[in-house]
Amino acid sequence: MSRRPYYARKPRRWPLWLAAAAAMWGAWIYFFSFNPQKIIEKSDLKQRTFDAKVEEITAPQSGIKAYLMTERSNPIVSISFIFADSGSAYDPAGKKGLAGLTAQMMSEGAGNLDRKQYKDELENYAISIEYDAGKDDFSGKLLTIKDNLAQAKKLLALTLYEPRFEKEDLERMQKQTQQAIDHLLEKPSGRLTEFAGKAVFQNHPYADGALDVRKDIKNISDDNMRGFIKKRLTKENLHIGIAGDISKEEAEALVDEVFGRLEEKNVQPVLEKPQTDFSFRQEFVEEDDLPQVLTTIAAPAVPRLSKDFYPLYIANYVLGEAGLNSRLNQAAREKEGLTYGAYTGMRLLQRSPQLVGGFSTTPQNFFRMKDIFVEQWGKMGAEGITAQELQAAKNYLQSSYNLRFADIGTLSAILAHMQRERLGTDFLQKRNQYIEDVTLERVNDVARKYFSPNRLLIISLGNTKQERN
């Protein structure tokens, strides 16, 4: 039996709100101060391709398929798995927060192990098991050293089939969730996220936010969570990625042992596509005492397998995802000093993929900053990008992609998403070529389709009343 040495034991966790605040601050410093282009522009990462083989395996007893990458440089095994279309958007009315609370409670004791015994078992055997619920999907991950894989499989299976859901643990987790939501909504960014969800998605389940969860969380019982696992965590909607020091035969046996007893068919309501009105409009939430105005934007985008995905991916990078070198930051931050940073990105919700973005600025600079954002958005649609910008974007997007393969945990997650999105087992070898094949004409054709100032929602929170008057 291999146990974790004292120096490798996990540190005490920060309180949730403090960890979140630290993460947000770190991300802000990283995004708007760190210039990754300078690090990789002369590197040889762009010329490298990912050579490790990914194969699709089939568990002999259950027939469950998984993507496997055997990588033996370290004695570590990682398993990532996704239950598609089982995320929070599928929570029933009156039980908002069901998926998220179940994800938390599945790690609060299982089988004959109460919460403390379960946590001690993970600690002693150097095992990490985590669950999470996004809008679309419910996911999990296991990370362990090879010597302890047998114990890790046993514990993971217990969380799926025999979660304890003790009353005391449930009440504590419900209370902690309400407290975390209260802390979140104390922050202007949390309140803006809540309002923006309603503004974009109206009555669609994608609009459900922290306040909906806070209202319903006490209504969720252990029976609700057991029903969730039985009906929504099934073989039919399961996608698995396995990476590390494990053979094909071992991986196939693992899939059967851990997932083979799941229900066959997924039982859940159909999630319709939201009927979002993306015609240009601005919405304001007035809070007079805030020193900054926070703004988020939304516009329609394309799904992952669309032929327009990579051209749009590149255009978005040039406009607002290239850090300080992006057009938005050059125009608003570097030239006029109106903001610490502006950004755009792609949010690939299954039923409503979107271009998103945002900025913060002082009330007196808000309208000038907003005008710059809209001008640059429209300029991208009207003029597109230059050949020089295209090459710089390709260099970065190709080189930086190879940095994602630095650890086994990330690799297994990538494999699970490859299977979920039907990208194919050869995606890691082909992805950079997909970037390389995008022409300047294609980028600019696609930019004209999606970067229209007439299809843009702008939602702001702060003190704009005086400036508007």
Domain membership flag for residue 60: yes
Which residues sit opposite 281 in a β-bridge?
457
Pair (233, 164) in one structural domain: yes
pLDDT in tens, 423-447: 999 999 999 999 999 999 999 999 9
Write down the pLDDT at residue 27.
Answer: 43
Write down the pLDDT at residue 268.
Answer: 77
For the chain, give the percent of residues with pLDDT over 70. Answer: 88
**CA distance linking residue 86 with residue 266, whole number of Å:** 9
Domain membership flag for residue 266: no
Which residues sit opposite 244 in a β-bridge?
70, 77
* Amino acid letter, 267: V
Write down the pLDDT at residue 269.
Answer: 78
Pair (171, 301) in one structural domain: no
pLDDT in tens, 207-266: 999 999 999 999 999 999 999 999 999 999 999 999 999 999 999 999 999 999 999 998
* Amino acid letter, 205: P
**CA distance linking residue 225 with residue 220, whole number of Å:** 8
pLDDT in tens, 348-377: 999 999 999 999 999 999 999 999 999 999
Position 8 confidence tier, pLDDT thresholds 50, 70, 90: very low
CATH of the domain at 61: 3.30.830.10
Pair (231, 186) in one structural domain: yes
Pair (242, 102) in one structural domain: yes
Domain membership flag for residue 178: yes
Long-range contacts of the stretch 399-404 (C-beta < 8 A, 24+): 399/40, 399/43, 399/45, 399/46, 400/36, 400/40, 400/45, 401/431, 401/432, 402/45, 402/48, 402/50, 403/40, 403/45
pLDDT in tens, 457-467: 999 999 987 66
Pair (227, 365) in one structural domain: no
Write down the pLDDT at residue 403.
Answer: 84
- Host domain of residue 304: 281-384+451-468
Position 47 confidence tier, pLDDT thresholds 50, 70, 90: low
| Mean pLDDT score, 264-285 | 91
Global pTM?
A: 0.87
Domain membership flag for residue 188: yes
Pair (113, 228) in one structural domain: yes
Mean pLDDT score across all residues of the chain: 90
pLDDT in tens, 52-108: 899 999 999 999 999 999 999 999 999 999 999 999 999 999 999 999 999 999 999
State how many domains the chain has.
2
Write down the pLDDT at residue 52.
Answer: 81
Which residues sit opposite 357 in a β-bridge?
297, 344
Strand order in the sheet with 281-286: 281-286, 457-462, 293-300, 353-361, 342-348
Pair (61, 191) in one structural domain: yes
Pair (90, 152) in one structural domain: yes
**CA distance linking residue 99 with residue 90, whole number of Å:** 8
* Amino acid letter, 305: L
Pair (222, 319) in one structural domain: no
Q: How many residues does the chain have?
A: 469
Position 9 confidence tier, pLDDT thresholds 50, 70, 90: very low
**CA distance linking residue 84 with residue 106, whole number of Å:** 18
| Mean pLDDT score, 38-51 | 51
Domain membership flag for residue 274: no
Pair (142, 201) in one structural domain: yes
Pair (295, 361) in one structural domain: yes
**What values do phi and psi take at 282, rounded to 5?**
-120, 140
Write down the pLDDT at residue 143.
Answer: 98
Position 26 confidence tier, pLDDT thresholds 50, 70, 90: very low
